[in-house]
Chains A and B, each alone.
Chain A
């Protein structure tokens, strides 16, 4: 068993021009919510419910420190993705991206982007990527 501190997690997304951008150093939280569709198939007279499962899907939620650095900063990268109608690559390494680490890769649409500014604190952002098609479990 190998466990990891959250600080080692990496997150990379391709920008709207399909250039990989490592936004790890801006990101404070990231989670991937996998869900599988299901339909009830209970027959009349049955004592208990039965189900059939369908396709799986995933949504990536992330948040971090807002930064307007040209080209590579998350604001520029994410605004570009928000205005683009094509899916783009992502890569998340919960244990980091060193050789041998397990990486989640795939394509997705940025469906939400929320910069926010508290009165007392640093300017933040959050975003959501709706994954389309399969998620691959690769090894870095």
Chain B
């Protein structure tokens, strides 16, 4: 498993299919709407014999501006939806191999909360992605 490659592939899928800017680190400042993908929150190595498969849980933070509450909610609804042009689940599961980078992935869940970035606070939809890779 190459974590950098996996995170880059997730970011590329979100950019290409949901139109999101992508930060693969916990940036001090962002331009919303944007996806922030820190390091995997959990990696379970050796899920098959002979080093065959590893599982990682990745949290994808999709941040929207809070200056307009109604617009923020509408934007989040688009990202949370299972279909549509800004659906994060649809963007990531369109190709569950991310172009061959992983064996498979599934967007498991989504929760919403306020997330501070630098001096700003954003509303964030946080997606938990389970992926398996060699």
A and B interact physically: yes
Hey, which bits of chain A sit against chain B, CB under 8 A? 6-11, 22, 24-28, 30, 64-65, 67, 96, 120, 122
Closest Cβ of chain A to B1, distance in Å, is 13
Question: Which residue from B47, B50, B108 sits with its C-beta under 8 Å from A10?
Answer: B50
Q: How far is the CA of A25 from the CA of B46 in the complex (A)?
A: 9
- A24 close to B132 (CB less than 8 A): no
- B53 close to A7 (CB less than 8 A): no
Contact residues, B50-68 vs A (CB, 8 A): 50-53
In the bound complex, residues from chain A placing their C-beta under 8 Å from that of B51 are 7, 25
**Residue picked from A7, A10, A27, A120, most chain B C-beta under 10 Å:** A7
Hey, which bits of chain B sit against chain A, CB under 8 A? 46-53, 103-104, 108, 132, 134
- A8 close to B49 (CB less than 8 A): yes
Q: How far is the CA of A24 from the CA of B47 in the complex (A)?
A: 11
- B104 close to A26 (CB less than 8 A): no
In the bound complex, residues from chain A placing their C-beta under 8 Å from that of B104 are 122
- A27 close to B132 (CB less than 8 A): no
Question: Which residue on A lies nearest to B55, using beta carbons?
Answer: A122
Count, A-B residue pairs, CB within 8 A: 47
- A24 close to B53 (CB less than 8 A): no
- A64 close to B48 (CB less than 8 A): yes
Question: Which residue on B lies nearest to A9, using beta carbons?
Answer: B49
Closest Cβ of chain B to A77, distance in Å, is 15
- B47 close to A28 (CB less than 8 A): yes
In the bound complex, residues from chain B placing their C-beta under 8 Å from that of A8 are 49-50
Closest Cβ of chain B to A33, distance in Å, is 18
Q: How far is the CA of A64 from the CA of B50 in the complex (A)?
A: 12
Given A24-B52, A25-B51, A25-B53, do A7 and B132 touch, yes or no (CB 8 Å)? no
- B132 close to A25 (CB less than 8 A): no
Closest Cβ of chain B to A100, distance in Å, is 17
Question: Which residue from B49, B103, B108, B134 sits with its C-beta under 8 Å from A27?
Answer: B49
- A122 close to B132 (CB less than 8 A): yes
Question: Which residue on B lies nearest to A25, using beta carbons?
Answer: B52
Closest Cβ of chain A to B102, distance in Å, is 12
Given A122-B104, A122-B132, do A9 and B50 touch, yes or no (CB 8 Å)? yes
In the bound complex, residues from chain B placing their C-beta under 8 Å from that of A65 are 47-48, 52-53, 103, 132
